[in-house]
Amino acid sequence: MLAGEAAARFELVNEYLSHLLDRNYSPATVRAYGYDLLAFCRWLTEQDLNPEAVTTNVLLDYLKACREASVPGRPGPNVVTMDGQRVDRYAATTINRRLAAISGLFTFAGLRSPDAKNPVPRGREARWMVAGERSGMLAHTTRRRKPRSALRLREPKKLPVALSASDAATLVGSLRTWRDRAIAGLMLWCGLRSCEVLALDVKDVDIGGRWVTVTGKGAKQRRVPLDPDVASVIDVYLLAERPESTSERLFLVAKGPHRGQGLTPAGLRTIFRYHRELTGVRGGNPHAFRHTFGTVLAEAGVDLAVMQALLGHAHVDTTARYVHLAPAHVKAEFDAARERLRTQNR
C-alpha cells in the first residue's frame, strides 16, 4: 500500500490493490503492481497531476519517460547487448507490466464511477487462434481473446534457457544438504517452480505413492509424479535433517535465528547464488532447472498435453515453446527425413 504525505492524493491506488487481494490475486502479483503504480504516482507528483487528470496524452508522456529512464545500478549508456540494445534501459516487458497495472487501475475506477473515462486505449485482440484451435483439435484449450492496449510495446519472444546435462550435474553435485538436494530434485526432475517448492507442506508429499500435490499460479492444484530418487532424498531429509518445528512447511531454515521457519524465496536465491559462484555454472538459477525438465520432456517426445499437465501451464501455447528447445529431437527428425529422401531417389 502507498504511504507518505502524498498518499491521500492516490487513495484510489490503495483501494485497487485491496481489490486485487479480495479477488485472490497472488501476493507477488499485487506487490509487483504496487511498485509499478508507485513509479507512476511518483511521476504524476513530479508533473503535479492527479489520477483524475490523466489522459491518453499524459500516458504517452509517461511511457516515453519510462523508455528514456536509466535503471540505477546498471552500466552506463556505452554498454550494449549483442543486438545493440542499451542495458541501462527498462525492458519492454517491464514497461508493459506498468501499463497493465495502470490499465487495471483505471478499469477499477470505471467500476466505481461508470462515467469515468479510461485513458488507456483498447487495441486489437491479444492473440490469434493457433492451427489446432481453428481445426477443432485443440478447441478445449481455446481462451477468450482479450483486447490489449494499443500503447503496448513489442516484446521479444525469447525461448527458455535450459542447462546442459553436465552443468546440471555439476550444480546438483555441489549441494551438500539433503534439503537443498530435495529442492533441486523437485525442480529438475519433477518440473516444479521455485515458489511451488517453497509452498509445499509435509502432507503434500506422498513418498509411498510417489505423488506431489502442487499449488501453482492462481491457487490451481495439480498432482505431479514424484521421481523415486527425489522421493528417497526427501525421505532422508524428513528423518535426519528437518528441524523440529510447528510449521507445516516441508522445507525449513536449518540454522540461525530463523531456524524452524519456512525457507523464503530470498533464502533460496542465496543458496543458488552461492553454488553458482562455487561451480561457475552461470545460468544455474532455480527456474533454469524447471526449463531443463521441460526440455528433456520435449526431446523425449512426450505428448504436449502431458507436458502441459506436468508443468502446470494454463495454455498449451506456453508448453509449445519447449518443443522448439529440443535441438536433438529436431535434428534427428531432420536427418531421418533426409535419409528417406535419399532412399527414394536411388
- Residue-level pLDDT at 326: 55
Do 20 and 56 contact (CB within 8 A), yes or no? Answer: no
In angstroms, the CA 140 to CA 320 distance is 16
- Residue-level pLDDT at 209: 94
Q: What is the mean pLDDT of residues 314-322?
A: 81
Do 80 and 134 contact (CB within 8 A), yes or no? Answer: no
pLDDT in tens, 160-170: 788 988 999 99
pLDDT in tens, 153-189: 777 777 778 898 899 999 999 999 999 999 999 999 9
| Region of poorest pLDDT, from 126-130, 285-289, 326-330 | 126-130
Higher-scoring residue by pLDDT: 52, 144 = 52
88-121 in b/e burial notation, b at 16+ Cβ within 10 A? Answer: bbbebebbbbbbbbbbbbbebbeeeeeeeebbbe
| Region of poorest pLDDT, from 68-72, 205-209, 269-273 | 68-72
* Enzyme catalytic residues: 193, 217, 287, 290, 313, 322
| Position 95 confidence tier, pLDDT thresholds 50, 70, 90 | very high
Q: What is the mean pLDDT of residues 126-153?
A: 56
Of 290, 278, 123, 57, the closest CA to residue 195 belongs to 290
Q: CA-based angle 39:44:49, to the nearest 5?
A: 160
Q: What is the mean pLDDT of residues 6-19?
A: 85
User: How many residues are recorded in the chain?
Assistant: 346
DSSP state of 239: I
Higher-scoring residue by pLDDT: 303, 143 = 303
- Residue-level pLDDT at 79: 67
DSSP 3-state of 123: strand
In angstroms, the CA 283 to CA 289 distance is 10
| Position 283 confidence tier, pLDDT thresholds 50, 70, 90 | confident
- Residue-level pLDDT at 272: 94
Do 129 and 144 contact (CB within 8 A), yes or no? Answer: no
Count the alpha carbons within 13 Å of 223 in the hemisphere toward its beta carbon: 6
- Residue-level pLDDT at 279: 93
All domains in the chain, ordered by first residue: 5-149 (1.10.150.130), 165-327 (1.10.443.10)
pTM across the whole model: 0.73
- Residue-level pLDDT at 125: 47
| 143 has pLDDT over 60 | no
Do 226 and 205 contact (CB within 8 A), yes or no? Answer: yes
